[in-house]
């Protein structure tokens, strides 16, 4: 026991000399006054547990104070009398060292214990194992467990084994953990593997991606009569959800419930997170309702995961309702929640809702940071709404939030895309003046903008500036993107200038570069220059590939030079380039469009003989080509043969065949094929309905056409402007003025406009000399002005 008189005398001397500033000393003195009537071990154990915020300020960090107090008592043992230390004292000290992340001190205390000659017990030995594991010395812990503990007269128990098992699994050594688990089972008795031991190794295997081993161990656990607990099941469900194996996770959840183990917050959170990340938001919502009915609370991470899933699938309004319901129940959203919702609204283009959410953040006590403003700016920028993006940028500065490199990257990219290169460069200068270091993305946006704008001098200047700043210059992949973009716009000469810049800075063009240029020349119809690119490629040592030849063949076909295409196609084997499925598809389409059906069929047989894969697109080209060249019966025969072979068709092929069947008056077959679309796992699209409606009107089945249009509307498919105009003209030509008027009412001047041919027909029919002039009153009022013409 401590000598209290000595302690009081020391405290009196300390007051006379002035209070010390050392906090550890003050705390120790405070502890010393609490010693009377309590054993040293009891006092240290109680102090070690004093870690809660409710504890007095001087003993908030109990484990640290235990070690500090012990060290002080040892330093001043000549003055302060302490009861003899026991093995329990050292056990407490070692545990405190682990809890303060100083396992090395714990190991030192164990060495001191051995030097005292005190007999070690199982609890202290297990704490020593804990110190070794915390110090990442797991192999030594295994050795102590299996060899040293028995030498010290300690029999390892289940807790000792579990301590080492956890360390092995935490350090990705789960297979060794399994071996140790089997040793436990072999030992039997009091150290037989329990649910904690099995669950630890199962969890370890899942973390290492060894799903098969984890599942096998789970079954072994069941066979050994060890019943899994909620943590075991949750661990398995979590791993399966992360692996997107939701069907298996559902089976485990059902097994868990059948075994009478009730899912907890963690279990539900794993399932909801799994469903959310897999895009199955309906299942996530169902589990969420079930969780609420059981009075369980979803944690913020899982709530945010569910929000993200809804927003990802275009359901940001539902996400907002979910957020509001959670807030009403006292579950406050965090800044991540708001960022998810802002991004969702921005992606959907719901900018009014996005801004409402933004202003609601402040009322809920959450200040917008740079990331929030970046989401707002990016939302507008991606929609080409540069002015709105710049207003948010200005407001950001007004609220005292400094833009970062991501902010400037978004703004500069948006301005460059819109052709506002001067403004983009101004923002670039602004960011460098504010010492915001430009990154690769910023430079790439500016350089691309300069190339598109034709300012290659500035582009080159920016590249050298990049390199001087230690940022690698753009590579050929970047320039290929720029060249391809210019070629797609038909600006082949500008693309050539960029190629000259690429060569000038020492970058080597590759086959993709030249393929883009060939595609550009084909697009503008300059096939001679496109062909000459082949010679340029050979001169710089770049070998053409199948894409090069396919691009040229497509250019020849689309420019109605099918003979040149055939000549080039025959050269490919001599160049050791084998045509692929795309190449044959281009040739077949070109031959069919040129009306050379026999040659196309020969090409198809050649394709089969060459062993080239015939996919659904090839069959689509062949069937469409046969129909286009009045070989409808042959096309229908081929289609029926393919159906018998269970070939999976796409909706485009079915549309082609329905049209072909109507064309040769095989109407019942056409209707039957339309009726089987759903059975084939397909959904009719706008083209499907357009084909059927046009053919019904051609055959005079006006009512059937009307019903088909209503069916299209009910399925949520929006009609095209072309279809509405076709229907109006066909009805007018058949004298169905009132019905034509119904469709005219759908013309809104926005998504559906009146075509010139439709207006011309109406003028001829309803002018003063028109044969339907007296029926003009059947049209919507805004079209009755036609009777004033003529």
Could you tell me the CA-to-CA distances from 436 to 80, 405, 408, 701 in Å, in that order?
A: 61, 6, 9, 69
Per-residue confidence band for 487, with pLDDT thresholds at 50, 70 and 90: very high
Among all chains, which residue has been given the structure tokens 């899942």?
206
- Geometric angle at alpha carbon 465, from 460 and 469, rounded to 5°: 150
Q: Is the pLDDT of residue 148 over 50?
A: yes
For 1-32, give one letter per residue: b (16+ CB within 10 A) or e.
ebeeeebeeeeeeeeeeeeeeeeeeebbbebb
Compute the distance between CA of residue 542 and CA of residue 474 in angstroms, rounded to an integer.
20
Could you tell me the CA-to-CA distances from 651 to 580, 618, 681 in Å, in that order?
A: 24, 14, 10
Per-residue confidence band for 288, with pLDDT thresholds at 50, 70 and 90: confident
Alpha-carbon torsion (108, 112, 114, 115), positive or negative:
positive
Under DSSP, the state recorded for 39 is -
Q: Is the pLDDT of residue 1 over 50?
A: no
- Residues above pLDDT 90, as percent of the chain: 32
Long-range CB contact pairs, 576-582, < 8 A, 24+? 577/544, 577/545, 577/546, 577/549, 578/546, 578/610, 579/546, 579/549, 579/550, 579/607, 579/610, 579/612, 580/546, 580/550, 580/612, 581/612, 581/613, 581/614, 581/615, 581/617, 581/618, 582/546, 582/550
Per-residue confidence band for 242, with pLDDT thresholds at 50, 70 and 90: confident
pLDDT of residue 772: 58
Residue 53, SS3 per DSSP: coil
Per-residue confidence band for 281, with pLDDT thresholds at 50, 70 and 90: confident
Count of Cβ atoms closer than 10 Å to residue 626 Cβ: 24
Closest CA to 408 of 383, 382, 430: 430
Torsion of CA 506, 508, 514, 515, to 10 degrees: -130
For 590-610, give one letter per residue: b (16+ CB within 10 A) or e.
bbbbbebbebbbebbeebeee
List all residues 6 or more positions away from 240 whose beta carbon is below 8 Å from its beta carbon.
211, 246, 248, 249, 252, 274
pLDDT of residue 291: 77
Query: Using an 8 Å Cβ cutoff, are 349 and 343 in contact?
Result: no
- pLDDT average, residue stretch 692-706: 90
Per-residue pLDDT of 335-370, as tens digits, reads 999 999 999 999 999 999 999 999 998 888 889 999
pLDDT of residue 38: 44
pLDDT of residue 27: 42
Among all chains, which residue has been given the structure tokens 């965090």?
334
Q: Please spell the DSSP secondary structure of 418-483, one letter per residue.
A: TT-HHHHHHHHHHHHHTT----HHHHHHHHHHHHHHT-HHHHHHHHHHHHHTTPPPP-HHHHHHHH
Q: Highest mean pLDDT range out of 147-151, 294-298, 399-403, 761-765? A: 399-403
- Tell me the average pLDDT of the chain: 84
Question: How far is C-alpha 318 from the chain's CA centre?
Answer: 20
Closest CA to 636 of 645, 628, 627: 627
R_g of the chain computed on alpha carbons: 39
Under DSSP, the state recorded for 85 is P
Query: Which pair of structure tokens corresponds to residue 193?
Result: 């593997």
Per-residue pLDDT of 741-779, as tens digits, reads 888 888 877 778 888 888 888 878 776 565 556 667 777
Question: How far is C-alpha 165 from the chain's CA centre?
Answer: 35
Among all chains, which residue has been given the structure tokens 């109406």?
762
Per-residue confidence band for 185, with pLDDT thresholds at 50, 70 and 90: confident
Q: Is the pLDDT of residue 31 over 50?
A: no
- pLDDT average, residue stretch 479-496: 91
Per-residue confidence band for 19, with pLDDT thresholds at 50, 70 and 90: very low
- pLDDT average, residue stretch 240-265: 85
Q: Is the pLDDT of residue 788 over 70?
A: no
Per-residue pLDDT of 46-59, as tens digits, reads 777 765 444 454 44
Per-residue pLDDT of 199-210, as tens digits, reads 889 888 888 888
Per-residue confidence band for 2, with pLDDT thresholds at 50, 70 and 90: very low
What size, in residues, is the chain?
A: 790
- Geometric angle at alpha carbon 109, from 105 and 113, rounded to 5°: 170
Q: Is the pLDDT of residue 20 over 80?
A: no
Alpha helices in 594-663 (DSSP H): 597-609, 616-628, 632-644, 651-663
Q: Which of 55-64, 112-121, 346-355, 523-532 has the lowest mean pLDDT?
A: 55-64
Torsion of CA 438, 443, 444, 449, to 10 degrees: 130
Phi, psi of 132 (to 5 degrees): -60, -45
- pLDDT average, residue stretch 481-496: 91
pLDDT of residue 82: 58
Burial of 376 (0-12, 13-18, 19+ CB in 10 A): buried
Could you tell me the CA-to-CA distances from 145 to 120, 141, 428 in Å, in that order?
A: 14, 6, 63
């Amino acid at each position: 026991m401590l000598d209290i008189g000595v302690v009081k005398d020391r405290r009196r001397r300390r007051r006379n000399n002035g209070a010390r500033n050392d906090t550890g000393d003050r705390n120790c003195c405070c502890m010393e006054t609490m010693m009377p009537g309590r054993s040293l071990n009891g006092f240290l154990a109680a102090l070690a547990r004093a870690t809660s915020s409710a504890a007095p300020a001087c003993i908030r960090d109990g484990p640290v104070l235990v070690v500090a107090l012990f060290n002080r008592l040892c330093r001043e043992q000549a003055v302060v009398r302490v009861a003899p230390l026991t093995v329990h004292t050292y056990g407490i000290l070692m545990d405190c060292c682990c809890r303060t992340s100083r396992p090395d001190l714990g190991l030192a205390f164990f060495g001191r214990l051995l030097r005292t000659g005190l007999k070690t017990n199982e609890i202290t030995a297990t704490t020593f194992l804990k110190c070794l594991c915390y110090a990442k010395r797991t192999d030594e812990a295994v050795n102590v467990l299996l060899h040293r503990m028995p030498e010290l007269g300690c029999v390892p128990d289940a807790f000792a084994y579990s301590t080492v098992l956890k360390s092995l699994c935490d350090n990705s050594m789960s297979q060794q953990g399994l071996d140790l688990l089997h040793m436990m089972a072999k030992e039997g008795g009091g150290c037989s593997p329990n649910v904690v031991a099995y669950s630890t190794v199962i969890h370890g295997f899942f973390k290492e991606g060894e799903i098969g081993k984890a599942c096998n161990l789970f079954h072994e656990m069941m066979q050994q009569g060890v019943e899994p607990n909620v943590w075991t099941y949750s661990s398995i469900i979590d791993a399966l959800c992360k692996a997107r194996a939701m069907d298996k996770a559902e089976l485990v959840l059902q097994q868990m419930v059948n075994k009478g183990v009730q899912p907890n917050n963690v279990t539900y959170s794993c399932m909801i997170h799994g469903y959310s990340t897999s895009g199955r938001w309906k299942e996530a919502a169902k589990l969420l309702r079930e969780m609420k009915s059981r009075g369980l609370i979803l944690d913020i991470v899982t709530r945010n995961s569910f929000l993200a899933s809804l927003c990802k699938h275009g359901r940001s309004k539902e996400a907002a309702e979910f957020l509001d319901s959670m807030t009403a129940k006292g579950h406050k959203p965090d800044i991540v929640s708001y960022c998810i919702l802002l991004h969702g609204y921005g992606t959907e283009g719901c900018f009014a809702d996005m801004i409402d959410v933004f202003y609601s953040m402040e009322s809920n006590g959450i200040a917008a940071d740079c990331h929030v403003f970046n989401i707002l700016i990016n939302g507008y920028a991606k929609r080409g709404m540069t002015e709105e993006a710049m207003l948010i940028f200005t407001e950001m500065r007004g609220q005292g939030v400094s833009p970062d490199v991501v902010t400037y990257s978004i703004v500069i990219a948006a301005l460059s895309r819109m052709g506002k290169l001067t403004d983009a460069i101004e923002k670039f200068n602004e960011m460098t003046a504010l010492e915001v270091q430009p990154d690769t993305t910023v430079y790439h946006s500016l350089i691309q903008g300069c190339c598109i704008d034709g300012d290659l001098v500035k582009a080159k200047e920016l590249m050298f500036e990049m390199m001087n700043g230690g940022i690698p210059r753009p590579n050929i992949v970047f320039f290929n993107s720029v060249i391809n973009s210019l070629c797609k716009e038909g600006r082949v000469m500008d693309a050539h200038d960029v190629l000259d810049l690429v060569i000038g800075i020492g970058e080597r063009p590759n086959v993709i570069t030249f393929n883009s240029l060939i595609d550009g020349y084909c697009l503008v119809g300059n096939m001679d220059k496109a062909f000459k690119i082949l010679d340029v490629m050979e001169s710089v040592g770049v070998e053409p590939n199948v894409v090069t030849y396919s691009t040229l063949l497509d250019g020849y076909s689309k420019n109605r030079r099918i003979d040149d295409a055939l000549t080039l196609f025959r050269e490919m084997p001599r160049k050791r380039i084998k045509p692929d499925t795309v190449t044959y598809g281009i040739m077949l389409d070109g031959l069919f469009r040129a009306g050379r059906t026999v040659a196309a069929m020969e090409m198809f047989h050649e394709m089969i003989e060459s062993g080239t894969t015939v996919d659904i697109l090839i069959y689509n080209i062949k069937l469409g080509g046969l129909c286009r060249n009045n070989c409808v019966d042959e096309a229908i025969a081929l289609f029926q043969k393919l159906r018998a072979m269970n070939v999976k068709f796409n909706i485009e092929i079915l549309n082609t065949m329905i049209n072909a069947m109507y064309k040769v008056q095989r109407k019942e077959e056409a209707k039957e094929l339309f009726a089987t679309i759903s059975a084939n796992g397909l959904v009719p699209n706008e083209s499907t309905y357009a084909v059927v409606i046009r053919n019904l009107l051609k055959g005079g089945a006006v009512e059937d056409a009307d019903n088909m249009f209503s069916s299209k509307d009910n399925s949520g498919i929006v009609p095209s402007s072309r279809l509405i105009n076709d229907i109006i003209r066909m009805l007018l030509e058949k004298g169905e003025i009132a019905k034509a008027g119904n469709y005219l009412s759908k013309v809104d001047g926005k998504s559906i406009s009146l075509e010139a041919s439709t207006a011309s027909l109406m003028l001829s029919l309803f002018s003063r000399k028109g044969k339907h002039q007296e029926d003009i009153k059947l049209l919507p009022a805004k079209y009755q002005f036609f009777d004033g013409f003529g």
